[in-house]
C-alpha cells in the first residue's frame, strides 16, 4: 500500500505508511511530544489519537496543554459518566453528552429514579472503577439498523441515531469502552485510564433539545483536568463564582424572584431589588439629560409593518413573540428593539441641520422570545428594560458624537466603580461585503472615524473584522461575569441602513434634504442584566448610594432608646437616606449580625449614653470595630458617601 504524505505546520512534508496514526506521527517527532499528545487535527478536523490516517493531509498534534486537548479529555469523561450511569441504572435513558469550556455533562431520564445530587458520590465512585479498569476506547461506524438495535428502544438515543444516519449517509459513529457502547461525535482519549482527575459537580433539569415542549431530563454536570493544580484552581474559581452568583445573592437579599408557574424569564422585583433598580434608573436619566439627551416614553407595542421595514422581522423573527391579530387587519408586535420607536419620534417633525445632533433616550421595555433552556436569573429574561439611546447626526458629526458618547460611558463606569473592561471595534468583513449594507464609501469613512476617535482619546482596543452589525460598524465594551464568561456590557453602533429604509431626512444649510446617520448606544445594557452584573461585581455588598437599606438603627432597648432611634430615623429619612429601625424582639447581637448578613452599609447602635450625648455608635459593613460620632456628623458623612457614589475622596 502506497505511503501517504503528511504536511506539518512548518510546511515540512514527510512520508508515512498508509494507516499510520497521530500517535505514530507524534513519536516520529519526539517521545516527549508523544507523551503530551491526546489527539490530532488532520486537514482541519479532530481525529482520535489511534485513528488510522489513509490519505495525504496536514496534521497538527493536539496536546494536553491546549483547549482542544482539554475538550478531548472532557468528551471522554462524559462517556465514562454515561458508562457509570448505565451500570448503576440499567433502565436509564440517555440524551446527549457534552464537553465545554466549563466541564462536561450528560442528560438522563429514568422513570424509577431520576438522578439527584445525593447520588453523585456513588456515581463518582463507579466512574473511578471504570477509570481504574483502564478500558481501551475505540471508535466504530455502524449502519443505522445496527445502531438502532444497540440503543434498544431508548427514545432519545433512537432520535439521535436517526439524525446521525440522515447526516452521514446512513452511518452512525459510536465509541466502545469494554462492553459499553455509546453514541458520540466527539474525539476521545485512547483509554478510560486517561481520565484521572475529575469531579461531579451538580444536577439540574434540562429540556430535551432545549425546547420547553419536550420532556425535562436530568443533566449531570462535572469537570475534568489533566493535573490536580488546574483542578484546585478551578475549585477556587467555582467557590468565588458561587459567592458572586446573582441568583443566590438575589434570594439571600430578597432582590427578585422568577416563578416558572407564572412566567419563565419574567422577573418579579421585590422592594429591595426595585430600590436598586430605581436608583440606577434615576441616575442614568439624570446623567443623560445633563449630556443633552431628551427622554421619551414610547409604546411597548408597534405595528408589525414597522419591523418589516426595519429588517427585524426578516433577521430576528425567531427572537420575536408571535404577532397579535387585532381582528381588523392590524397586526401588533411586542417590540424586540426600541430603535423603530425612536425613529417615529424623529419623523414626527421636519428636522433642520440646526437640531443635529438630536439625542433621544428612553428606558424602553422590550420582549424577546428566549428559549426556556437559555433563561437565567436576571441575565437572560424574556422581558427587559434597556437603557437605550439614539442620536441622529449629520455624517460629518459622527466622530465628535462618538467621542461624546464614549466619554459619557467612561464617566458612568467610574461612578459604578467598573474597572475590568475592554474595547472592541467591530468592522465589516472586507472579503464578504455582500452581507452588509451596500455603501462602500460610507463604511470606509465610518470605520476610519471610529478608529480615529479611539486613537484621539488614547484608549486601547482590539479590531475585529467581520463582527460589525449588518447596518454599520460598532464599538463593544466587553467585561467578564462572575462565572468568567465574556459578555458585552455596552455598545455604540453606527447605522446607515435604518435612516434609508425609513426615509429620514433633515434640511441642510443649503435648503436641500439630506439623510442623517443614526447612532445606537446602550450605556449600561438592560436594567435586568446590569443589576445582575453589579450584584455579582459587589458580591451583594452594594455601595451606600445603591444599597436598598443604607442605615439600620438598633436601639439597645426599645423601651428606653426607641424614641431616640425614631428621632434619628426621621432626620436621616428627611435627608433622603434609606433607613430602618430594627425594633424586633431579638437580642442586640443577633440584630447586628443580621445587618451584616444583609450587607447594610451602616449599622447604628444607640444606648443610654448615645441618647444622652446625641451620638451614635457606627459600625460599617465588613468592619468588626465601631466608632462613636455625633449624630449630625454621621448624617454629614453618610450624605457625602452617597453624593460621591461611595468613592473615597
**Sheet containing 301-303, strands listed edge to edge, beginning at the edge strand earlier in sequence:** 301-303, 331-334, 324-325
339 is in an annotated binding site: yes
Q: Hey, which residues does 393 pair with through a beta bridge?
A: 517
Residues with Cβ within 8 Å of 534's Cβ and at least 6 positions away in sequence, in order, are 276, 280, 416, 542, 546
- Residue count (the chain): 649
- Residues 48 and 57: their CA atoms lie apart, in Å, by 15
- Residues 485 and 483: their CA atoms lie apart, in Å, by 6
Measured CA distances, 193 to 76, 80, 87, 135, 306 (Å)? 10, 10, 18, 7, 60
390 is in an annotated binding site: yes
CB count within 10 Å of CB 100 equals 12
Residues with Cβ within 8 Å of 261's Cβ and at least 6 positions away in sequence, in order, are none
SS (H, E, C) 60-93: EEEECCCHHHHHHHHHHHHHHHHHHHHHHCCCCE
Q: Hey, which residues does 491 pair with through a beta bridge?
A: 476, 522
Grid coordinates representing 523? Answer: 450605556
The alpha carbons of the chain give a radius of gyration, in whole angstroms, of 30
DSSP type of residue 490: E
315 is in an annotated binding site: no
Name the residue among 81, 39, 78, 76 with its Cα closest to residue 61: 39
Q: Hey, which residues does 553 pair with through a beta bridge?
A: 581, 604
Extract the annotated binding site: 339, 390, 520
Extract the annotated binding site for Zn(2+): 339, 390, 520
Amino acid at each position: 500500500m502506497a505511503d501517504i504524505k503528511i504536511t506539518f505546520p512548518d510546511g515540512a512534508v514527510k512520508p508515512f505508511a498508509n494507516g499510520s496514526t497521530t500517535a505514530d506521527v507524534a513519536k516520529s517527532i519526539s517521545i516527549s511530544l508523544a507523551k503530551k499528545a491526546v489527539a490530532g487535527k488532520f486537514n482541519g478536523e479532530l481525529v482520535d489519537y489511534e485513528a488510522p490516517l489513509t490519505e495525504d493531509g496536514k496534521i497538527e498534534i493536539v496536546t494536553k496543554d491546549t483547549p482542544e486537548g482539554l475538550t478531548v479529555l472532557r468528551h471522554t469523561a462524559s462517556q465514562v459518566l454515561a458508562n457509570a450511569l448505565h451500570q448503576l441504572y440499567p433502565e436509564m435513558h440517555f440524551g446527549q453528552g457534552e464537553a465545554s469550556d466549563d466541564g462536561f455533562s450528560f442528560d438522563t431520564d429514568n422513570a424509577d429514579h431520576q438522578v439527584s445530587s445525593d447520588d453523585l458520590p456513588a456515581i463518582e465512585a463507579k466512574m473511578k472503577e471504570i477509570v481504574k479498569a483502564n478500558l481501551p476506547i475505540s471508535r466504530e461506524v455502524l449502519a443505522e439498523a445496527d445502531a438502532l438495535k444497540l440503543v434498544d428502544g431508548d427514545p432519545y438515543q433512537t432520535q439521535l441515531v436517526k439524525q446521525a444516519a440522515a447526516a452521514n449517509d446512513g452511518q452512525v459513529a459510536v465509541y466502545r469502552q469494554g462492553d459499553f457502547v455509546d453514541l458520540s461525535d466527539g474525539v476521545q482519549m485512547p483509554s478510560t485510564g486517561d481520565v484521572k482527575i475529575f469531579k461531579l459537580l451538580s444536577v439540574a433539569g434540562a429540556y430535551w433539545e432545549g425546547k420547553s415542549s419536550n420532556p425535562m431530563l436530568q443533566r449531570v454536570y462535572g469537570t475534568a483536568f489533566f493535573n490536580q493544580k488546574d483542578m484546585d484552581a478551578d475549585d477556587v474559581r467555582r467557590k468565588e463564582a458561587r459567592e458572586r452568583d446573582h441568583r443566590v445573592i438575589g434570594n439571600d437579599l430578597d432582590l427578585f424572584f422568577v416563578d416558572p408557574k407564572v412566567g419563565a424569564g419574567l422577573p418579579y422585583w421585590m422592594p429591595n431589588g426595585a430600590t436598586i433598580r430605581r436608583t440606577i434608573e434615576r441616575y442614568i436619566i439624570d446623567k443623560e439629560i445633563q449630556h443633552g439627551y431628551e427622554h421619551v416614553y414610547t409604546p411597548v407595542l408597534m405595528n408589525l409593518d414597522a419591523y418589516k421595514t426595519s429588517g427585524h422581522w426578516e433577521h430576528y423573527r425567531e427572537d420575536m413573540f408571535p404577532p397579535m391579530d387585532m381582528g381588523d387587519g392590524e397586526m401588533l408586535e411586542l417590540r424586540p428593539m426600541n430603535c423603530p420607536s425612536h425613529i417615529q419620534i424623529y419623523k414626527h417633525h421636519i428636522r433642520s441641520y440646526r437640531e443635529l445632533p438630536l439625542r433621544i433616550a428612553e428606558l424602553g421595555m422590550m420582549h424577546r422570545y428566549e428559549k426556556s433552556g437559555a433563561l437565567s436569573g436576571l441575565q437572560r429574561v424574556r422581558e427587559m428594560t434597556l437603557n437605550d439611546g439614539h442620536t441622529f447626526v449629520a455624517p460629518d458629526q459622527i466622530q465628535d458624537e462618538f467621542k461624546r458618547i464614549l466619554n459619557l460611558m467612561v464617566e458612568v463606569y467610574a461612578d459604578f466603580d467598573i474597572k475590568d473592561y475592554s474595547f472592541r471595534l467591530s468592522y465589516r468583513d472586507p472579503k464578504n461585503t455582500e452581507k452588509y449594507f451596500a455603501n462602500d464609501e460610507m463604511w470606509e469613512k465610518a470605520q476610519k472615524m471610529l478608529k480615529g476617535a479611539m486613537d484621539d482619546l488614547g484608549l486601547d482596543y482590539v479590531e475585529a473584522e467581520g463582527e460589525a452589525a449588518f447596518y454599520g460598524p460598532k464599538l463593544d465594551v466587553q467585561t467578564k461575569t462572575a462565572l468568567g464568561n465574556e459578555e458585552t456590557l455596552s455598545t455604540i453602533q453606527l447605522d446607515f441602513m435604518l435612516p434609508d429604509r425609513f426615509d429620514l431626512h433633515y434640511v441642510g444649510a443649503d435648503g436641500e434634504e439630506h439623510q442623517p446617520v443614526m447612532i445606537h448606544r446602550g450605556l449600561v445594557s438592560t436594567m435586568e442584566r446590569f443589576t445582575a452584573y453589579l450584584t455579582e461585581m459587589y458580591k451583594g455588598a452594594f455601595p451606600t448610594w445603591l444599597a436598598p437599606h443604607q442605615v439600620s438603627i438598633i436601639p439597645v432597648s426599645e423601651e428606653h432608646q426607641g424614641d431616640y432611634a425614631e428621632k434619628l430615623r426621621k432626620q436621616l429619612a428627611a435627608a433622603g437616606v434609606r433607613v430602618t429601625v430594627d425594633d424586633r424582639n431579638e437580642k442586640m447581637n443577633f440584630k447586628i449580625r443580621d445587618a451584616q448578613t444583609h450587607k447594610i452599609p451602616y449599622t447604628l447602635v444607640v444606648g443610654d449614653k448615645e441618647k444622652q450625648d446625641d451620638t451614635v455608635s457606627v459600625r460599617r459593613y465588613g468592619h468588626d470595630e465601631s466608632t462613636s460620632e455625633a449624630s449630625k456628623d454621621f448624617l454629614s458623612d453618610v450624605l457625602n458617601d452617597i453624593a460621591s457614589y461611595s468613592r473615597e475622596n
